[in-house]
């Protein structure tokens, strides 16, 4: 399966996909990396791995639709079958999202449906929840919504800051994004009534209780 990765910046999740591909653990090939921002670190990561890159700068377009048409054209020209948003900081319209229904996924740094949007770690700390986490989900036109594929939960510690929590969550992001792509590539992920069913899903060994005593 050929995947396209859309980025806007650092590209650490992109790197986790590249590493999984290198280690034969992705079950898919990254065909193109597209950034809407020029000269970001993620573009260097892709180039270092020999993956084609394109910059499609939203500022060069008169509105969202022509920008998204350009994205779509580029993805189709590379034969892309699954699009992975990885820190892509533009909202996509229903037009684009519907063209890629169930072939467009995103990673978000919270346990959705809690904490959609930005500043998820600050908000989780303010709310006093005991777990943070991250979610890979199929994209729908509504922001940070759509059938959930994989989640990872991490305990929130009493001395956490948004940065320490973000680091702990990011390590999990780097595990679950390649996992989600692999399960999709293996044909094990099906959307039924707007939720995801996974064939032969592994069952984690233990519950998490925080604090433990």
Nearest Cα to 50, choosing from 14, 3, 18, 82? Answer: 18
CA dist., res. 78 & res. 75, Å (int) = 5
Which residue among the candidates 108, 121, 137, 174 is catalytic per the annotation?
Answer: 108
Report which secondary-structure segment, H or E, holds 178: helix 162-185
One character per residue 108-147, x = contact with ligand GRF (rule: CB under 6 A): xx--------------------------------------
- Strand residue runs (E) in the chain: 2-7, 29-35, 53-55, 82-85, 104-108, 131-138, 148-155, 189-192, 195-198
Catalytic residue list contains 108: yes
Does 35 engage in binding with ligand GRF (CB under 6 A)?
no
Interface with ligand GRF, residue 36, by CB under 6 A? no
Residue 11 as a binder of ligand GRF (CB under 6 A): the answer is yes
Contact residue for ligand GRF among 144, 160, 172, 173 (CB under 6 A): 173
26-49 CB burial, b ≥16 within 10 A, e <16: bbbebbbbbbbbeebebbebbeeb
Over the window 72 to 111, marking each residue x when it contacts ligand GRF by CB under 6 A and - when it does not, the resulting string is --------------xx-------------------xxx--
- Residues tagged active-site: 108
Q: Which residues bind ligand GRF (CB under 6 A)?
A: 9-14, 86-87, 107-109, 170, 173
């Amino acid at each position: 399966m050929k995947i396209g990765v859309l980025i806007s910046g650092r590209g650490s999740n992109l790197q986790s996909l590249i590493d999984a591909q290198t280690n034969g653990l992705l079950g898919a090939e990254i065909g193109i990396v597209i950034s809407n921002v020029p000269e970001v670190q993620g573009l260097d990561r892709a180039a270092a791995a020999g993956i084609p890159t394109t910059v499609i700068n939203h500022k060069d377009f008169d509105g969202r639709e022509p920008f998204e048409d350009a994205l779509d054209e580029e993805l189709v020209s590379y034969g892309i079958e699954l699009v992975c948003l990885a820190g892509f900081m533009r909202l996509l319209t229903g037009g684009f999202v519907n063209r890629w229904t169930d072939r467009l996924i995103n990673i978000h740094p919270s346990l959705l449906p809690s904490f959609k949007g930005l500043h998820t770690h600050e908000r989780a700390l303010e709310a006093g929840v005991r777990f943070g986490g991250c979610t890979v989900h199929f994209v729908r036109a509504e922001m940070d919504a759509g059938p959930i594929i994989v989640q990872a939960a991490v305990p929130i510690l009493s001395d956490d800051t948004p940065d320490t929590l973000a680091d702990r969550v990011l390590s999990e992001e780097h595990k679950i994004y390649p996992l989600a792509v692999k399960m999709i590539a293996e044909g094990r992920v099906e959307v039924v009534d707007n939720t995801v069913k996974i064939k032969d899903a592994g069952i984690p060994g233990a519950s998490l209780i925080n604090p433990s005593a």
